[in-house]
Amino acid sequence: MSGLLQDYVTAQAERRADAVALVMGERRLTYGELERLSNQLAHLLVEAGCRPGDRVCLCTEKSPQAIVGMLAALKARCTYVPIDVASPTARIARIVRSADPAVVLTMGAAMSLVGELLASEVLAPGLPVGALERFPGEGPGFPVAFDAADWDSQPGERAPRTGDPQEIAHLLFTSGSTGDPKGVAIIHANVRAFVEWAVEYFGTEPGDRISGHPPLHFDLSTFDIYATFSAGATLFPVPPSTLLPGQLGEFISSNQLTQWFSVPSTMTYMAKFGAVPERGFPSLKRVLWCGEVLPTAILIDWMKRIAQASFTNLYGPTEATIASSFYTVEEIPRDETAPIPIGTACAGEELLVLDGECNPVPPGEIGELYIAGAGISPGYWRDERRTSEAFRPDPRPGRGEQRIYRTGDLARFDRDGLAYFLGRTDSQIKSRGYRIELGEIEAALNARPEIVECAVVGVESAGFEGTSICCAFRPASEADSNPAALRSALAALLPTYMLPSHWRSLEALPKNVNGKIDRRRLREMFSAEQSQA
Ligand code: AMP
């Protein structure tokens, strides 16, 4: 074993080639098929000119082929970059330019997006595009270097290349405060460290039937995928069209899932719309969540209804790979206002609560949360400045080259050593489970001529979105004060989940004594409006 992510699949294919690795709708792939197809596609990538370390952009919706594409990129010793194809083209273009791919893999509806990127030369003319499906009839309107019909011409027994666990496996782009999404580089060893802890802690085994709910550009999806393959279990990617709470509940029941893992907003949405049946989901052994606070009242609801399952809170940022700490809730909480701890560090990780001088704060006191350990990313893709701001040398004596990651989260330890999440130090929020820098929305708005000044704030809401995005703005003229027009202009620049849901046109934005926009007053204003609504 060489410690690479794709080794999980190779090992299963050698032992249990006929076991089912993934099921999505009518499509199912055994470990043997997954191994063969990803080897074949890897050979095509090498033939198309991919060199070790090159990026392969995956411009496709979640699909079995996309997962074959990921494995193939790794087997060509490349870095894959899953693209959120539901984002506006302008934002995708910034991500693709930054990733600077050697090959693009695409299929289905995302083909037209690739056509646009080629036409506007965001993708260099002549850059090879590989299709993950066959073209029996009409082509996509641009030359395709290979399609799925070519796969069989390639050897399926072996990958063309191997690699090193310290090499970058994937780039995951997250919202950036200055307007440009930032690419978090994740090496094989980062993911393997978490997967190995998780498979042992949760006792994942071949009979497990595991949900794949988050989109592939979210780091949580890498847990579903690689923990499944590591254990030889079966992955059930949730189709992007399975959106409604009832459909999600039906997905769990009909596929007899044993593990459900999603962001809390999805669990809240399901609970609020009655999609968690009393004594339902009898096959479920584990419910896991990560990415934001799960309201305790919602957890109580789930725990009462799905009594046989265990419930675990996972905490961690993309930069520290999937999750760095965990807390399994042993009993149904009695107090719905008591927060659930983010718990203790997973094996190989460390949580540090530090003050402004990077000294540890005593239990009970609030400080900034830093993470050290095996999950820490080497940094942001081609961005030394942001990397050195967020990833710092470990200040403790005897730690050598070790780095710590500054999460921007506030936390405290209690006397039992359990950590609690207490909010953010900056203007990053989570809305519907998506990580959003409010600065990215402001940067897009400030580029609009209709706006003189604006501020975007997050306000806790009673709805399932968790935090609602609210925009106060001063329009250039009376005619520019129409939020609907601004919203549709913004929709060309930002994904739907980043669009403010509440708007307020003001003659002037409130300022504090330093002359800065008074965001606290704006939050109070929107919060009062929402509680009256
Ligand atoms: P992401 O990179 O999308 O995973 O977002 C990371 C951020 O999400 C963290 O820095 C926290 O602010 C928040 N977060 C992640 N997990 C949790 C959790 N279990 N509870 C509260 N906040 C969380």
Q: Is pLDDT of 123 > 90?
A: yes
* Ligand 1 pocket residue status of 232, Cβ below 6 Å: no
Atom of ligand 1 nearest to the CA of 434: 3
Q: Is pLDDT of 313 > 80?
A: yes
454: alpha, beta or left? (left if phi > 0; alpha if psi -120 to 50): beta
The alpha-carbon radius of gyration of the chain (Å, integer) is 23
Full strand arrangement of the beta sheet holding 467-475: 451-460, 467-475, 502-505
Mean per-residue pLDDT for 5-25?
A: 98
| Average pLDDT of the residues of the chain | 95
Residue nearest to ligand 1 atom 7, measured at CA: 317
Alpha carbon distance 343, 170 (integer Å): 28
The residue among 186, 219, 253 that closes a domain is: 186
The confidence score (pLDDT) of residue 337 equals 87
* Ligand 1 pocket residue status of 317, Cβ below 6 Å: yes
One domain, residues 268 and 412? yes
One domain, residues 389 and 451? no
Alpha carbon distance 351, 370 (integer Å): 6
Residue 262 burial by CB count (10 A; 0-12/13-18/19+): exposed, middle or buried?
A: buried
CATH code, domain with 88: 3.40.50.980
The confidence score (pLDDT) of residue 248 equals 98
Residue nearest to ligand 1 atom 12, measured at CA: 409
Distance 315 CA to ligand 1 centre (A): 6
* Ligand 1 pocket residue status of 171, Cβ below 6 Å: no
pLDDT digits (tens, 9 = 90+) for 486-507: 999 999 999 999 999 999 999 9
Ligand 1 mutation target, pool 262, 315, 407, most atoms within 8 A of CB: 315
Alpha carbon distance 283, 292 (integer Å): 26
Distance 118 CA to ligand 1 centre (A): 35
One domain, residues 38 and 167? yes
Ligand 1 mutation target, pool 191, 219, 421, most atoms within 8 A of CB: 421
* Ligand 1 pocket residue status of 291, Cβ below 6 Å: yes
| 219 part of a folded domain | no
One domain, residues 311 and 391? yes
Atom of ligand 1 nearest to the CA of 407: 10
The confidence score (pLDDT) of residue 21 equals 98
And the tokens for 225? Answer: 């995928």
Ligand 1 mutation target, pool 435, 467, 497, most atoms within 8 A of CB: 435
One domain, residues 399 and 492? no
Residue nearest to ligand 1 atom 8, measured at CA: 291
CATH code, domain with 518: 3.30.300.30
And the tokens for 393? Answer: 């040398």
Mean per-residue pLDDT for 49-76?
A: 98
Structural contact between residues 353 and 419, judged by C-beta atoms closer than 8 angstroms: yes
DSSP H/E element including 525: helix 519-532
The confidence score (pLDDT) of residue 511 equals 87
Mean per-residue pLDDT for 171-178?
A: 92
Residue 408 φ then ψ, to 5°: 80, 5
Task: Residue 341: give the domain boundaries.
Answer: 242-424
One domain, residues 98 and 53? yes
Alpha carbon distance 148, 266 (integer Å): 34
pLDDT band of 156, cuts 50, 70, 90:
very high
Q: Is pLDDT of 137 > 70?
A: no
Atom of ligand 1 nearest to the CA of 294: 20
Structural contact between residues 445 and 452, judged by C-beta atoms closer than 8 angstroms: no
Q: Which of 263, 219, 281 is nearest to 82 (CA)?
A: 219
Distance 330 CA to ligand 1 centre (A): 22
One domain, residues 247 and 395? yes
Atom of ligand 1 nearest to the CA of 424: 12
| 25 part of a folded domain | yes
Distance 332 CA to ligand 1 centre (A): 23
Q: Is pLDDT of 516 > 90?
A: no
Distance 421 CA to ligand 1 centre (A): 9
Residue nearest to ligand 1 atom 5, measured at CA: 317
* Ligand 1 pocket residue status of 421, Cβ below 6 Å: yes
One domain, residues 419 and 434? no
pLDDT digits (tens, 9 = 90+) for 233-269: 999 999 999 999 999 999 999 999 999 999 998 999 9
DSSP H/E element including 22: strand 20-24
* Ligand 1 pocket residue status of 318, Cβ below 6 Å: yes
Q: Is pLDDT of 282 > 80?
A: yes
CB atoms within 10 A of CB 159: 25
Q: Is pLDDT of 211 > 90?
A: yes
Q: Which of 517, 500, 430, 493 is nearest to 179 (CA)?
A: 493
Alpha carbon distance 133, 130 (integer Å): 9
| 413 part of a folded domain | yes
Q: Which of 357, 68, 408 is nearest to 235 (CA)?
A: 68
The residue among 152, 186, 220 that closes a domain is: 186
One domain, residues 484 and 390? no
| 217 part of a folded domain | no
Distance 290 CA to ligand 1 centre (A): 7
Mean per-residue pLDDT for 158-174?
A: 97
Atom of ligand 1 nearest to the CA of 289: 19
One domain, residues 163 and 92? yes
* Ligand 1 pocket residue status of 407, Cβ below 6 Å: yes
One domain, residues 381 and 482? no
pLDDT band of 138, cuts 50, 70, 90:
low
Alpha carbon distance 74, 160 (integer Å): 10
* Ligand 1 pocket residue status of 342, Cβ below 6 Å: yes
Atom of ligand 1 nearest to the CA of 220: 4
DSSP state of 146: B
The answer to whether the Cα torsion of 445, 449, 451, 454 is positive or negative is positive
C-alpha separations of 165 from 1, 4, 156, 223 in Å: 11, 5, 23, 17
Q: Is pLDDT of 125 > 60?
A: yes
pLDDT digits (tens, 9 = 90+) for 333-386: 999 989 999 999 999 999 999 999 999 999 999 999 999 999 999 999 999 999
Alpha carbon distance 254, 170 (integer Å): 32
Mean per-residue pLDDT for 50-72?
A: 98
Dihedral Cα 86, 88, 91, 97, nearest 10 deg: 80
| 509 part of a folded domain | yes
Q: Which of 279, 278, 262 is nearest to 464 (CA)?
A: 262
* Ligand 1 pocket residue status of 326, Cβ below 6 Å: no
Structural contact between residues 111 and 138, judged by C-beta atoms closer than 8 angstroms: no
pLDDT digits (tens, 9 = 90+) for 87-96: 999 999 999 9
| 236 part of a folded domain | no
Alpha carbon distance 497, 490 (integer Å): 11
| 364 part of a folded domain | yes
Question: What are the strands, taking DSSP E only, across 374-511?
Answer: 379-380, 391-393, 403-413, 419-424, 428-431, 434-437, 451-460, 467-475, 502-505
Distance 434 CA to ligand 1 centre (A): 10
Q: Which of 63, 69, 72, 147 is nearest to 109 (CA)?
A: 63
Give me the number of domains the chain comprises: 3
Between vectors from CA 75 to CA 72 and to CA 80, what angle results, nearest 5°? 60
Distance 425 CA to ligand 1 centre (A): 13
* Ligand 1 pocket residue status of 235, Cβ below 6 Å: no
Q: Which of 171, 119, 131 is nearest to 48 (CA)?
A: 131
For residue 151, what are the contacts with CB-CB under 8 A and spacing of at least 6?
37, 40, 41, 44
**268-278 burial string, b = 16+ CB within 10 Å, else e?**
bbbbeeebbee
DSSP H/E element including 251: helix 245-254
Q: Is pLDDT of 136 > 70?
A: no
One domain, residues 167 and 31? yes
Q: Is pLDDT of 465 > 90?
A: no
Distance 408 CA to ligand 1 centre (A): 10
C-alpha separations of 465 from 298, 460, 499, 525, 527 in Å: 13, 9, 13, 19, 15
DSSP state of 458: E
* Ligand 1 pocket residue status of 435, Cβ below 6 Å: yes
The confidence score (pLDDT) of residue 98 equals 97
pLDDT band of 16, cuts 50, 70, 90:
very high
Residue nearest to ligand 1 atom 1, measured at CA: 317
| 205 part of a folded domain | no
The confidence score (pLDDT) of residue 3 equals 96
Mean per-residue pLDDT for 289-296?
A: 93
- DSSP codes joined into one string, 72-126: HHHHTT-EEEE--TTS-HHHHHHHHHHH--SEEEE-TTHHHHHHHHHHTTSSPTT
Atom of ligand 1 nearest to the CA of 342: 19
The confidence score (pLDDT) of residue 44 equals 98
Alpha carbon distance 53, 79 (integer Å): 6
Atom of ligand 1 nearest to the CA of 319: 2
The residue among 153, 186, 219 that closes a domain is: 186
The confidence score (pLDDT) of residue 177 equals 85
Q: Is pLDDT of 139 > 70?
A: no
And the tokens for 485? Answer: 């027009």
